[in-house]
Structure 1
Amino acid sequence: MKESDKNIEKLIDKMMSESTLESPSIDFTSKIMSQVLAAEERKIKAYKPLISKTTWIFIGITLTALTTYTIYSNNDISNFEIAKTYSDKASALFSGIHISKNILYALLVVPFMVLIQIGLLKNYFDKKYEL
C-alpha cells in the first residue's frame, strides 16, 4: 500500500513540475459574476399570490350582496319551524351573556383595524424587499 502511495505521489510531482502556473485574465471576476447573475435571474420566479385580486373582489362583492340581501329582505325567518327551534336554542344559550357597548364596539372595529394594518405592513415590506 505504501509503495502504491509513493508511486502516485511521484506521478503527481512529475505532472506538477511539467505544468506551468496559469493566471486568470484581468476581467475573470466580472465574467464569473455576470454568469452567476444571469443564472440567478433565470431561477427567480415572479411573486404570484395564492388568491388573485379578482377573486378577492368577487368574494367581497358576494359577501356584501349577501349581507345587503339579509338586512333588506322582507323574509321573516321565524316562520320556519327549524329556524325558530335553532333561534330559541341560541337565545337560551346566550341569554346569560351581557356585552357592554364598549366591548361590542371593540369587537366591531378591531378586525377592520387589523386588516388595515396588514395592508399597510404588506405594502411596506413589498417596497423594502422588492427585486
Structure 2
Amino acid sequence: MEAENKKLDQFTKEVMQDAGLQAPSTDFLANVMAEVSKEKVAVKVYKPLISKVGWLTIGALFLIFAYVLTNFSLGFSIFGDWDLSSLLMEKYRLNVTIPSTYAYACFFFLIFVVIQIKIFQKQLDKRFHS
C-alpha cells in the first residue's frame, strides 16, 4: 500500500513539472471583480412586526382601560354589585411609601436598560445592513 502511494506521489510530481505554471492574463483580476459586481445580493430590511405607533397605541389603550376600570363605575358589571373603583381604592387603602434610594435605583436601572437596548439595536442594524 505504501509503495503504491509513493508511485502515485512520484507520478503526480512528474505531471506537475511537465505541465508547468500558466500565468493569468493581465486583466484577470479586473474581469473577476466585474463578474462579482454584476451579481446582486438581496438586502434584508428589518421590519418589526408591531411598529412604534402600534406599541404607543397599545400602551395608550392599556392605560386608558386601567384608568377607567379603577376610577369609574360603568353602571353594570359582570361581577354583580362590585364596583371596581371602590374595591380597589376605598376598601383597601394602601399607604405605600417607597424609599428614595429604591426609587433612584429603579430610575437608574431603567436608564441603563434603555441604553443597552439602544446599543443592541445598533448592533443588530449593523449586522442586517452588512
TM-score (ref. length: structure 1): 0.50
> What corresponds to 1:16 in structure 2?
16
The AA in structure 1 aligned to 2:82 is: F
Match of 2:48, SS state, is: coil
Cα distance in 2 between the residues matched to 1:20 and 1:9: 17
Q: How many percent identity over aligned positions? A: 19
Report the CA distance between 1:120 and its aligned residue.
Answer: 8.9
Structure 2 residue runs without a partner (length 5+): none
Of structures 1 and 2, the one scoring higher in RCO (CA 8 A, sep 6+) is 2
1:115, CA displacement in angstroms? 8.9
User: Aligned equivalents of 2:112 and 2:66: distance in 1?
Assistant: 19
**1:4-48 CA distance string (max 9 Å, x none):** 123212320231122131233445445359738957x44x52223
Q: Which residue of 1 aligns with 2:82?
A: 80
Return 5+ residue gaps in structure 1 as ranges. none
Deviation at 1:59, TM superposition (A): 1.0
Question: What is the identity, as a one-letter code, of the residue corresponding to 2:36?
Answer: Q
Distance in 2, matches of 1:81 and 1:67, equals 14
Are residues 10 and 119 of structure 1, via their aligned partners in 2, closer, same or farther at CA, if it must alter by over 3 Å? closer
Secondary structure of residue in 2 paired with 1:47: coil
Question: Across the two proteins, how many residue pairs are aligned to each other?
Answer: 118
Q: Which residue of structure 1 aligns with residue 36 of structure 2?
A: 35
The AA in structure 2 aligned to 1:12 is T
